[in-house]
Amino acid sequence: METTNQALLDWVNSVAELTQPDHIQWCTGSVEENETLNQLLLDNGSFEKLKEETHPNCFLHLSDAQDVARVEHLTFICTEKQEDAGPNNHWMSPQEAHAKMNGLFAGCMRGRTMYVIPYCMGPIDSPISRCGVEITDSAYVVQNMRLMTRMGTPALQRIEREGQFVKGLHSTGELDPDRRFIMHFPEELAIMSYGSGYGGNALLGKKCHALRIASYQAQKEGWLAEHMLILGVENPQGQKHYVAAAFPSACGKTNLAMLIPPEGYVQDGWKITTIGDDICWMRPGEDGRLWAINPEAGFFGVAPGTSEATNPNALAMLYKDAIFTNVATTEDNQPWWEGLDDRVPVRDWQGNAYTEGQGAAAHPNSRFTVSAKRCPSYSEEAESASGVPISAIIFGGRRENLVPLVCEARDWQHGVLMGATVASETTAAAAGAVGVVRRDPMAMKPFCGYHFADYWSHWLSFDKADNKLPKIFTVNWFRKDQDGRFMWPGFGENMRVLEWILKRCDSQVGTTDTAIGGLPDPADINQQDLDIQAEVLNELLAVNVKGWEQELTEVREYLDGFGERVPEALYNELDKVKAGF
């Protein structure tokens, strides 16, 4: 298969001339192609088949020990002007980046097959979707892209109709950490990644395209590309709402996307459906509401901690047609990771013999790749060309004190300030000091493809008279008491906060107005069968004035760090909050 798109054909030919592959294979997405590549990966040792009786058509891949996670310090935004990349990104000039990458790619595919993967981020027929083509020398990447995107002939046909696509060039190279770079060229709609075979470094449709390049595209074209889950909530009366929520890592994002409500809610007829767990593209519809799609077709989830207790919907997906990366295995060759159950694995994530007490058997960032359609809470609306209308946007972080359980922004501009300054405290899992507040605007710190101040201005630009924008909220599931115990039970009980948020969207309950925003009356939070004392809930919904005054000082210093481009509206909102105390 080749193409009628001359620009695509010319690019593929130029890459082949540079990289010198032995073969070129255009990927169609067919069943036969899938089976052939799985067999190839089994034959060359990149895949190992897991126990067929318990995990049919599931495979284990063990990556190089130095290639196990995203590499933010080697990830660059390459714009003509350095200031356009912003202080939130590492920058390199396009000229220097192209020269560096062309040197690395020269001849790197000799003895290898060059795979050409046309793919669509989002439903094939959605006007919100965007297409790309990834060229790679990794069959493992092809098989992951097969699950994570709509890839193959239908995507190529859309590219041929539209003409535009994001160019992604990837090679595993020698897997040498000293020869590893990920370059993004937003002004060229192009990505070059060399020296890694892992996850978001190699699956260029994921963070590289769907966030770093797409956020730039979205700014130019009037939409939003966000690091957000999308879930649907249906109440007992059959009314549906859709919520988009942004959480940094380790804040329960996937668990919320696949939330199972408490038993009382289930008996009453509440239903949760999953549109996506990681990325959300939104644009204003003709009705002025924001309509959203999940541009991905699968989940690339963190395995450790996923269990029947924490996320039964996620676990249920993983018994068929899945790829596991860097997990451990049991004696009968089933995948295993910390937090799954009380079995002891026999092999660790590097394929070595494992005995109990040796440390982590699965890599802490080990992953599963699986089609979204395998999720028990999957919604067919994930394939809707128009997307789903968003009623509420939620920003979350991990704060042990100060930040209330839930708070509603006064309006869109205040909500943008809340999202721009949301933060988490570092935990023992991260290098460096514990308890340090780190801000992660809209959970986009590693992923915004341009200057954060311009990004905030773009968010503010949606506040127009004819737009019916979602209400904006912050949540914090992670408050602790003086003894270091979590005050809120979290997990499925977060449904109670969701219910209050949606009642606010329908004006069914009021708020207590405070300087930081609207807080619930504790009586409006459904407490049936909830094991929490009244004084604890009151504390979760209280405003610590002294603490917030210090917070506002730190917020202003943070905004100042982005220079003259920071929109005045954010400082105005900050002044309003301060004046409210």
User: Which residues are identified as catalytic?
Assistant: 251
Task: Decide: helix, strand or coil at residue 430.
Answer: coil
Instruction: Give per-residue burial for 517-527: e unless 16+ CB within 10 Å, then b.
Output: bbbbebebbbe
**Which of 341, 346, 218 is closest to 280 using CA atoms?**
218
Distance CA 534, CA 487 (A): 11
Q: Please report where in the chains the tokens 């050409």 appear, as a residue.
A: 116
Dihedral of the alpha carbons of 552, 553, 555, 558, in degrees to the nearest 10: 180
21 close to 113: Cβ distance less than 8 angstroms: yes
Among left, alpha and beta (phi > 0; psi -120 to 50; other), residue 351 is left
DSSP track, 31-69: HHHHHHHHHHHHHTTS-EEPPTTTSTT-EEE---TT--S
Token pair belonging to 108:
């790197």
The two tokens of residue 357 are: 């007490």
Angle made by CA atoms 10, 114, 225, in degrees to the nearest 5: 75
Q: Which of 227, 292, 238, 229 is nearest to 258 (CA)?
A: 229
Query: Which letter, b or e, does each residue of 379-393 get, where b requires 16 or more Cβ atoms within 10 Å of its Cβ?
Result: bebbbbebbbbbbbb
- Say whether 434 sits in a helix, a strand or coil: coil
Amino acid of residue 546: K
Question: Which residues touch 407 (CB under 8 Å, ≥6 apart)?
Answer: 418, 473, 474, 475, 516, 517, 518, 519
| Max CA distance (Å), the chain | 70
Could you list the beta-strand ranges (E) of 145-297. 150-151, 166-171, 181-185, 190-194, 224-226, 229-234, 240-246, 271-276, 280-284, 290-293
Task: State the number of CA atoms in the 13 A half-sphere of 131 facing the CB.
Answer: 24
CA distance 478 to 165: 41
DSSP-derived letter for residue 491 is: G
- Residue 274: phi, psi to the nearest 5? -105, 120
**What is the helix, strand, coil percentage profile of the chain, to 5?**
35, 20, 45
